[in-house]
Structure 1
Amino acid sequence: MQDSPLLASINKIKSFDLNLLLTFEAIYLYNSVSDAANLLGKTPSAVSQSLTKLRSVFSDPLFVREGKGFVATTVAENLHLHLSEGFSQLLNSLDYFYDASTKSKFTIHSTAYAAARLMPDICAQIEKDALHCTISHISSDAIMDNDEDILIYRKADIIFDTKPFYSFSTITEPFITEHVVAVCRQDHPRLKNTLTLEEMKFENSTFLTVGSEGVKRVQNDINGYFGDREFSFSSSSIIANTAIAEKTNCVSFIPKWFATKFTKSFNIKILECEFQTEPVTLFLTYNKSSLKNNNFIEILKIINQCKELY
C-alpha cells in the first residue's frame, strides 16, 4: 500500500498549493489579474501574490505584460496544455457525483450566422415539444476562446463550428454543409445573371474576415479561380458584406441559404458561376458527460430532428 503510485505522487506534491494551478488557469484564460480575481472571488492583490509564487516554482515569468493584458510564455503555454487535459478529466469525474438531470439551461456557442441559420428551427421544436429549458447563445464572433477551452471549462454545452474538435471526452460529428454563392445588387451596371472569370477582373469584392478554417479554404478556392481580387470592404459580418453589395458595385460571396432567404430584403441577386467551391461543413460538438443529463439528451434529439430540415 505504501508503494502506491498515487501515494507517492501525493507525498511528492503535498507541500505544493494546488490552488495556485487554479489561479494560473484563470489568469491564462482571461489574460488579466483583475478578471481572474473576479472569477475566483479573490482580490487582485491575492492573485498577484499567487502569480509571484508560481513564477518562483517554475522559474519563469509565465506571463508578460502587453498593452492592458498578459501574454503567456512558452512555459505557460505548455503548462496550460497539460493542465487543461487534467482539468477536463477532473470535471468529467465530478459529473458522476451530482445529479445533472435537472439542468434546464443550455448554452450554444456558434457564429451569429450559424445561430440565425439553426436556432429558429431548434427553438421552435423545443416549444412544440413543450420541453422546459432555456437556450442561451454565445457568439463566437465576439470571443477569442478556442473550442477546447470552451468545452473543458463548461462555457458552452454545444458548439457549432466549421472546425471539428476530437478528444476522448467529446463527441464531434458533421451536422450540415453550406454552399457559397456570389451576389451583387439587382441593378448592377455590368453584371446580369452570371459571373465569369473575365467579368470578375473588372469588379471589386467584399472580404469576410473570420478565422474559420472552412471559410479560409473557400476563400482560397475562390482566389485560385478568379485570381487576386480587389477588395474595397471587409467585415467579419455576412450581413454587413451583403448590405455593402446591395448599395455598391461590389461582389460578395455568401452562404447560399442566406442569399436565397434575403435576396428581396437586400435587393440582391445570385450570380451563376462556372466555378463551384467545395461546401463548408458545420460540425456539432459536445462533451460526452452531457449525455448523463436527460434534458440534454432531449435537446440533442431535437437538434438531430432539425438536421433533417437542412
Structure 2
Amino acid sequence: MEYNDLPASQISQQRENDTPQIFRTLRNIDLNLLTIFEAVYVHKGIVNAAKILNLTPSAISQSIQKLRTIFPDPLFIRKGQGVTPTAYASHLHEYISQGLESILGALDLTGCYDKQRTITIGTPPSIGSVIMPRIYQVVKQHFPQLLIRNIPVVDASSQLGQFQTDLIIDSHVHTARTLSHHVLFRDNIVLACRDNHPLMKSPITAETLGDWEYTMLMTEGHALAHLQKRLYDMFPNRQINFSSYNLFTTAALIGSSDLLGLMPGRFFSIAALCWHLKALDYAPLQEEQIEFSLHYNKLSLRDPILQNLISVIRQAFS
C-alpha cells in the first residue's frame, strides 16, 4: 500500500515514531560543520572560508573531512587554487542554505533581518476594535515583514511574564516588577442611549437619570476602582439591570432597549454606527477619563524588533 493511502492516524503515528530517530541523527552531526560547509561552498575555497570564519585552513579541512564521513560523497574536489563542489554538495547546499536562513530569520538578533515574524498582541475585544486598525497601519508601514496575531487578555501578568504574549494593551495597570507600561491615550467617558430615547427630550439632570435602568461593564482587578467609585458617586441612584464582560454586548442591549450605559468615547464612536446610539450631554462626566496602556515584559527591550515596535506604536497614539 502506498504511504499516501494510509489512514491519517497511521501516518501521524509513523511521523511520531520517526521523531526520536531524527533527534538521534542530528545529535551525531555537529551543526557548526554545516556553517563551515556553506562558507566553503559560497567562497569556493578552504582559505577563503577560513578568513571569513576566523579559523585556520587546517581547521576547515578537518571539518570537511568529518562531513565526508557523514555523507556518502567527497563534497568538494580540488581545482586550481580552490575547490569545486560535487553535484551532491550542490544538492546539500540548497537545503542547508535554506535551513540556516530560516534559523537566522527566527533569531533575528540584529532586528534588521527581513524575514516574516509573528508578533502577538493581547487586547480585550472592544479595545482591539478601536486600536488594532491603527496598529496594523503603522506596522505595515514600518515593519512590513511582521505578521500580527491578536489574542484575548486572560491573565496579563502571566502572559507577559511567561512570554506567551509580546504586548498587551488594555485599561488596567499591571504592577508586576518584570513589566513596564506606557499610557497610549486617554479617553472620555460617554453616557449612551439608543436613538430616540425619551431622555433626549428632557433636561439631563441627576434626578431624571435616576429614573432609568443601566448596564454595567464587569471588569476584573482593582485598576479601575477609583474611577468606578467616582462614577458611583456621580450616579448614586443608578439601578443596574444588565451586566456583561463584553462591551459589544452592552452596546447592543443599549441600542435595542431603554437602558443607559457608560463607555469609552472611542468605542462609542464605533458602537454608535452599529447600534444607532446617541450620547447624552451630562456635565459632571466631562472631566472623567480612562487610560489605555501598552504593557510589555522589561526583558523584551533586549529584542530590537520589539523595542522598535513599542516606539512606533507609542508614536502612533501620541
What TM bracket, shorter-length normalisation? Answer: 0.5 to 0.7
Find the counterpart in structure 2 of residue 176 from structure 1.
Answer: 185
Letter matched to residue 282 of structure 2? C
State yes or no: 1:203 paired with 2:212: yes
Find the partner of 1:224 among 212, 222, 233.
233
Question: What residue ranges of structure 2 are gaps of 5+ in the alignment?
Answer: 1-106
| 123-132 vs 163-172, greater mean Cα deviation | 163-172
- Match of residue 117 from structure 2: 104
* Worse overlay, 202-211 or 158-167: 158-167
- Contact 1:193/1:270 (CA < 8 Å) preserved in 2? no
SS in 1 for 2:219: coil
Taking a change above 3 Å as real, the CA distance of residues 194 and 108 of structure 1, as seen in their structure-2 partners, is: farther
Contact 2:161 2:179 in 1 (8 A): no
Per-residue CA deviation, residues 42-88 of structure 1 (Å, 9 max, x unaligned), is xxxxxxxxxxxxxxxxxxxxxxxxxxxxxxxxxxxxxxxxxxxxxxx
Deviations 1:136-193 (A, max 9, x none): 11212xx3x2x32222211111122323234553322222112211011111123337
In the alignment, is the contact (CA less than 8 A) between 2:172 and 2:224 conserved in 1? no
Distance (Å, rounded) in 2 between the aligned partners of 1:119 and 1:256: 16
How many Å separate the matches in 1 of 2:290 and 2:221?
A: 10
| Match 1:125 to one of 124, 138, 145 | 138
The change in CA–CA distance for 1:213 and 1:248 in structure 2 (over 3 A counts) is same
SS for the counterpart of 2:193 is strand
**What amino acid is aligned across from residue 201 of structure 1 in structure 2?**
G
Partner of 2:36: none
CA-to-aligned-CA distance 1:180-211 (integer Å, 9 cap, x gap): 11011111123337532011121000111121
Provide the alpha-carbon RMSD of the alignment.
2.3
TM-score, normalising length: structure 2: 0.59
Say if 1:193 and 1:271, in contact at 8 Å, map to a contact too. Answer: no
Helix, strand or coil: the match of 2:258? coil
Structure 1 residues 184 and 194, CA gap change in structure 2 (3 angstroms) = farther
Query: What is the aligned partner in structure 2 of residue 248 from structure 1?
Result: 257
Corresponding position: 1:284 with 2:294: yes
Deviation at 1:117, TM superposition (A): 1.5
Counterpart of 2:199 in 1: which secondary structure?
A: coil
In 1, the alpha carbon distance for the partners of 2:174 and 2:235 equals 32
The structure-2 alpha-carbon separation of the partners of 1:99 and 1:245, relative to structure 1 and needing over 3 Å to count, comes to closer
| Equivalent residue, structure 1, for 2:309 | 299
**1:214–1:281 Cα contact (<8 Å) kept:** no
Cα deviation, residue 305, structure 1: 2.2
Q: 1:134 to 1:261 in 2, by over 3 A?
A: same
Relative to structure 1, the CA distance from residue 150 to residue 234 in structure 2 (aligned partners, 3 Å threshold; closer, same or farther) is: same
Secondary structure of 2:201's partner? coil
Are 1:136 and 2:145 matched, yes or no?
no
- SS of alignment partner, residue 253 of structure 2: helix
> 1:306 is aligned with what amino acid?
A
Residue of structure 1 in register with 2:174 after alignment: 165
Question: What is the rounded CA distance, in whole Å, between the counterparts of 1:193 and 1:297 in structure 2?
Answer: 52
* Partners of 1:161 and 1:293 in 2: CA distance: 22
1:115 aligned onto 2:128: yes
Structure 2: distance between partners of 1:241 and 1:195: 22
**TM-score with structure 1 length normalisation?**
0.61
* Percent sequence identity over aligned pairs: 21
Distance 1:216 1:248 in 2: 28
Please say if residues 166 and 172 of structure 1, whose CA atoms lie closer than 8 Å, have aligned partners that are also in contact.
no
Shift of 1:271: 0.3
* Distance in 2 (alpha carbons) for counterparts of 1:193 and 1:237: 30
Deviation at 1:288, TM superposition (A): 2.4
Paired residues, number: 207
**Which of the numbers 153, 160, 166 marks the counterpart of 1:151?**
160
Determine the C-alpha separation between the residues in 2 that align with 1:305 and 1:158.
16
Runs of 4+ in 1 over 4 A off after TM superposition: 98-103
- Could you tell me how far 1:262 is from its partner in structure 2? 3.4
The amino acid of 2:124's aligned partner reads T
Q: Which amino acid aligns with 2:269?
A: T
Partner of 1:60 in structure 2? Answer: none
Deviation, structure 1 residue 216? 4.0
AA of the residue aligned to 1:259: F
Q: Return the alpha-carbon distance in structure 2 between the equivalents of residues 207 and 299 of structure 1.
A: 34
Q: Hey, what's the Cα distance between the residues in 1 that align with 2:173 and 2:238?
A: 30
